[in-house]
Structure 1
Amino acid sequence: MEYNEVRKQLETMMNTNYKAFIMALIAIERDMDNEATLQELYNLYMDNDRILLLNDVLYR
């Protein structure tokens, strides 16, 4: 699968259910399944416009 195909699929997922998309990315990156913690990290991400998804703040 090429980059453009992957990007198109990710954009589709993001546009379909943004919250689930972000939580899944965090879960994969942090290797975690705890939904309560993922919800907290998602809220932190959404509440702070200065936090990028790939940011050390989410990995404390």
Structure 2
Amino acid sequence: MNTIDIFKQQIQEMMDTDYCSFIKALISIETGELNKDKLQNRYGSYMENDDLTLLNKFFYK
């Protein structure tokens, strides 16, 4: 198993354990936001918006 496979497995385990906290952590890392209420609002917006992705659309081309 290579490093990428190990990381993918670890990420999947985090997502399976607590998806909400996982997404909030990613948002916090990318934006620098630490306020729990603001992170909750951004998570809510993410979950409500069907066409919102965490990766830039560039990666889907």
Unaligned segments of structure 1, at least 5 residues: 56-60
In 1, distance between residues paired with 2:4 and 2:33?
A: 26
Shift, 1:54, TM fit: 2.8
Aligned partner letter, 1:5: I
| Normalised TM-score (structure 1) | 0.83
In 2, distance between residues paired with 1:24 and 1:36?
A: 13
> Across the two proteins, how many residue pairs are aligned to each other?
55
| Normalised TM-score (structure 2) | 0.82
User: What's 2:32 paired with?
Assistant: 31
| Partner secondary structure for residue 25 of structure 1 | helix
Moved over 2 A (4+): none
Shift, 1:37, TM fit: 0.7
CA radius of gyration, larger in: 2
